[in-house]
Amino acid sequence: MSLPTITLLSFGFPQQDFLDQIARAVQLEFGYAVNLREGRIDLGEYYDPARNQYNGNNLLNLVDSLHVTDSFKTLGIFNVDLFIPILTFIFGQAFLNGNSGIASFYRLNNERYGMPENDLLFIERAKKEVIHEIGHTFGLIHCQNPVCVMRSSTYLEDVDQKKLHLCHNCREKLVG
Ligand SMILES: [Zn+2]
Ligand SMILES: [Zn+2]
């Protein structure tokens, strides 16, 4: 019997060293082994020409359908602009207390906002978003603690304001 793992499924995110760092951060935060895999799909099927974005609900369902039972949680990593019908964009989303979530790194780099490139900041944001969505799959809801990783993020500034970790309260819920 294999130990429960968290699977990070990358769909077209090119930088392997970034993914390795993110995997390590997830492992440290949740205490499970993390598996990195590459997903292969035709993203074109998820593209909405009217919005020039990709359908986050359909992609979440796709990742959920790819969840394998020997993995504890599966998180899909994308590098395209995601939306859901009620929002202009999303950084990610997940099934609360479910198997799966998705996160996109598309809006996490400085260059997107006309600021100088900063890889350290980018990786930090990516780690936070991935940990946040995995937190939802463990049943954690949004937290009011301004520095908790489970705080909701509407803008990049919100992501930068919070820390990489679950606050004490969230961690207790995770254990309990
Ligand atoms: Zn959230
Ligand atoms: Zn919290």
Position 161 confidence tier, pLDDT thresholds 50, 70, 90: very high
In this structure, of 2-6, 12-16, 133-137, 149-153, the range with the lowest mean pLDDT score is 2-6
pTM: 0.95
Q: What is the pLDDT of residue 18?
A: 96
pLDDT tens column, 18-73: 999 999 999 999 999 999 999 999 999 999 999 999 999 999 999 999 998 778 99
Whether 153 has a pLDDT exceeding 60, the answer reads yes
Q: Is there a catalytic annotation at residue 172?
A: no
- The alpha carbon of 136 and the centre of ligand 2 are apart by a number of angstroms equal to 11
- The alpha carbon of 140 and the centre of ligand 2 are apart by a number of angstroms equal to 8
Position 176 confidence tier, pLDDT thresholds 50, 70, 90: low
At residue 47, φ and ψ (nearest 5 deg) are: -85, 135
Diameter of the chain measured on Cα atoms: 49
- The alpha carbon of 159 and the centre of ligand 1 are apart by a number of angstroms equal to 11
Question: 55 has which bridge partners?
Answer: 83
Distance between CA atoms of 166 and 156, rounded to whole angstroms? 19
Protein residues near ligand 2, an ion, with CB under 5 A: 143, 145, 148, 150, 167, 170
pLDDT tens column, 96-132: 999 999 999 999 999 999 999 999 999 999 999 999 9
Q: What is the pLDDT of residue 115?
A: 95
- The alpha carbon of 1 and the centre of ligand 1 are apart by a number of angstroms equal to 32
Distance between CA atoms of 110 and 145, rounded to whole angstroms? 25
At residue 87, φ and ψ (nearest 5 deg) are: -130, 150
Whether 1 has a pLDDT exceeding 60, the answer reads no
Q: What is the pLDDT of residue 4?
A: 83
Please give the span between the terminal C-alpha atoms of the chain, in angstroms, as a whole number.
Answer: 25
DSSP character string of 83-150: EETTEEEESEEE-TTSSEEEEE-TT-SGGGGT----HHHHHHHHHHHHHHHHHHHTT------TTSTT
Pick the closest to residue 68 from 46, 89, 91, 37 (CA basis). Answer: 37
Question: 76 has which bridge partners?
Answer: 9, 102
Whether 133 has a pLDDT exceeding 80, the answer reads yes
- Which has more confidence, 2 or 45? 45
Going by C-beta distance under 8 Å and a sequence separation of 6 or more, which residues neighbour residue 82? 53, 54, 55, 56, 59, 89, 90, 91, 92, 102, 104, 106
Question: 93 has which bridge partners?
Answer: 102
Whether 143 has a pLDDT exceeding 90, the answer reads yes
- Which has more confidence, 15 or 69? 15
